[in-house]
Amino acid sequence: MDNQWYLAIIAEKERFYRLAYSYVKNEQDALDIMQESMYKALKQYGRLREKDVVITWFYRIVINTSLNFLKKNAKNIYIEDIDQESIAAHPRKNYFELRQAVNELPFQYKTVIILRYFEDMKISDIAGILGENVNTVKTRLYTALKKLRVEISEEDV
Amino acid sequence: MSNNLYSKKDLEVIAREWRHAKAPEKLERMMIDMATQKQKKFTGFRIAGTSVAAVALAFVLGLNVSSAFAATMRNIPLIGSAAKFLTFREYEKKTDTYAVQIDTAKISGMGNGALETALNEKYMEQSKRLYNEFMSKIKAGDENIGLFSNYTVKADNGVTVSIENAVTETAASGYEKLAYDTLDVKNERYITLKSLFVDDSYIDVISKNISEQISAQMSADAAKVYFTNENKFKAISGDQAFYINNDNKLVVAFDEYAIAPGYMGTVEFMIPTEALRNILVSGEYIH
């Protein structure tokens, strides 16, 4: 019974894949990250104490694997911050620009935006995945939204 | 905040697109395969995918666009005074976890070309096969492995030419295998061991000579060690690896570990022509 835990992960594969893809922006690298994540999961599952958090746990693996991948591949060094000039030059509302801006967010901001708004997760769950406290995640989300120029109040993230 | 352009609703529009993005179909297959084979002991996947893809592409290009290799030809000796022997680096890649270096040989300018075509195809097939086998090991998660294959003209005495293909695989330890093609370039003949002799007695004659040489070596030099257990040398095979050296002598070769411990490496025995005199078809190649 317990060896079926990975079916829960496989059932949610699209979410993990999309997250990996958002970091590396190409299929082959995203598949590689998934493969390595799966490998780590298979190896480490035995040491996982709370078996009911397998999804959260696998998210963490995918995020860490992606981060390692980016660090290793110099060509993929992520942009530290959005180029404010280029946004100011296009002050029109434009979904392409917004998508682009999400794409170019630094790693930790992109992660919280995707998990919170794209995957519709609760802040407490995101905190669990990242191993941070809820307030840190909120602050990070608020900063990320500001970078994206999304109108929002701090209480409303 | 006049600076802001978007609302949470805008973010939701993008989120909907996001959720429609599908993973490639092979993702599920891969995950299931990995999960159900986990007892197969994966040793790690640390290979960047782009590099594997690039490897495959480079290799395909390498095989198809021969002219591209003009620049990488490393030596162009004439063999048998007329034909040309080229080797080129078919594929080379070194990462943290593996190294592969596959050379291919190409012979040209040999008469009507039937033999050289057959050999060139064989060399190309060999390179492809080595590459595919190696890459499937990588895909299966093998780490710290290496594969090196190269071709050299082992001997050229003006009558026969012997081309050596050395394939070395490294894992925890190394393993070298040798193969030879011996040709009569002028007459476009491929020389097999059997074809040199009048009948099959050559197997016994050569085996007996090698056994004697092994005994003599072991008693003369403590550093020379051959297996004396069940792997002890008994007899050559009918198509044992051999070449004809620059002095027109027959040399019989064995892969690493075949008849001796690893530190002896690959071993070879020059067979004195006197021992073969009565069974040679002619003195044309060996004398």
Of the residues B191, B212, B240, the one at which a domain ends = B191
**Residue B4 belongs to a domain:** no
Domain check: are A66 and A85 in the same one?
no
For residue B82, tell me if it sits in a domain. yes
B185 plus B198 within the same structural domain? no
Test mutation, B6, B26, B143, chain A, max A CBs within 10 A? B6
Instruction: Give CA A72 to chain center in angstroms.
Output: 18
pLDDT in tens, A31-73: 999 999 998 898 888 888 776 788 999 999 999 999 988 888 7
> CA A140, CA A115: separation in Å to the nearest integer?
12
> Do residues B112 and B207 share a domain?
no
User: Is the same domain home to A73 and A85?
Assistant: no
Judged by a CB distance cut-off of 8 A, whether residue A28 touches chain B is yes
CATH of the domain at B248: 3.90.640.20
- Residue B150 · residue B168 · CB < 8 Å: no
A156 and A87 co-located in one domain: yes
Q: What share of chain B is helix, strand, coil (3-state, %, to 5)?
A: 40, 25, 35
* Token couple for A67: 């981060």
Do residues A10 and A71 both lie within one domain?
A: yes
Which residue range(s) make up the domain with B130? 47-191
When divided into structural domains, chain B yields a total of: 2
- Please judge whether A98 and B11 are an interchain contact, meaning their C-beta atoms are less than 8 angstroms apart: yes
Judge: B14–A152 Cβ closer than 8 Å, yes or no. no
Query: Based on the domain organization, do A86 and A123 belong to the same domain?
Result: yes
Structure tokens at B93: 């890649």
Q: Decide if B181 contacts B190 (C-beta within 8 A).
A: yes
pLDDT of res. A30: 92
Whether the per-residue pLDDT at B55 is higher than 80: the answer is no
Are B135 and B111 in the same domain? yes
Instruction: Determine the Cα angle at B255 with ends B254 and B256, to 5°.
Output: 120
B127, pLDDT greater than 50: yes
Task: State the Cα–Cα distance between residues B48 and B33, nearest whole angstrom.
Answer: 19
Mean pLDDT of B253-260: 89
Residue A34 and residue A18 in contact, taking contact as beta carbons nearer than 8 Å:
no
Q: Say yes or no: B115 and B212 in one domain.
A: no
B265's tokens: 């490496």
- For A35, the 3-state DSSP assignment is helix
Whole-angstrom CA distances from A23 to A32, A60, A145, A152, B51 are: 12, 14, 18, 25, 18
Does B19 map to a domain? no
Which residue's structure tokens are 């257990």?
B229
pLDDT digits (tens, 9 = 90+) for A78-119: 443 334 444 444 445 677 788 888 988 999 999 999 999 999
Is B20 inside any structural domain? no
Burial of A117 (0-12, 13-18, 19+ CB in 10 A): buried
What is the average pLDDT across A129-154? 90
Q: Which residues of B touch A156 (CB under 8 A)?
A: 8
* Angular region, B80: left φ>0, alpha ψ -120 to 50, beta rest: left
A84 and A157 housed in the same domain? yes
Whole-number percent of chain B with pLDDT over 90: 26
Question: The domain that contains A43 carries what CATH number?
Answer: 1.10.1740.10
Domain boundary among B191, B222, B246: B191
Domain shared by B61 and B142, yes or no:
yes
Position B114 scores a pLDDT of: 80
DSSP at A49: S
Domain encompassing residue A15: 1-77
End-of-domain residue from the set B147, B168, B191? B191
**CB half-sphere exposure, B190, CA atoms < 13 A:** 9
Mean pLDDT, residues B59-64: 33
Cα-based torsion angle of the residue sequence A69, A71, A73, A76 in order, rounded to the nearest 10 degrees: 100
Length of chain A: 157
Same domain, A66 and A111: no
Could you tell me which residues are beta bridge partners of residue B108? B84
User: How close does chain B come to A29, measured CA to CA in Å?
Assistant: 5
- B145 and B253 inside one domain: no
A63 in the same domain as A97 = no
Best residue of A5, A7, A10, A26 to probe chain B, by most B CBs closer than 10 Å: A10
Contact B87, B165 (CB under 8 A): no
Same domain, A5 and A60: yes
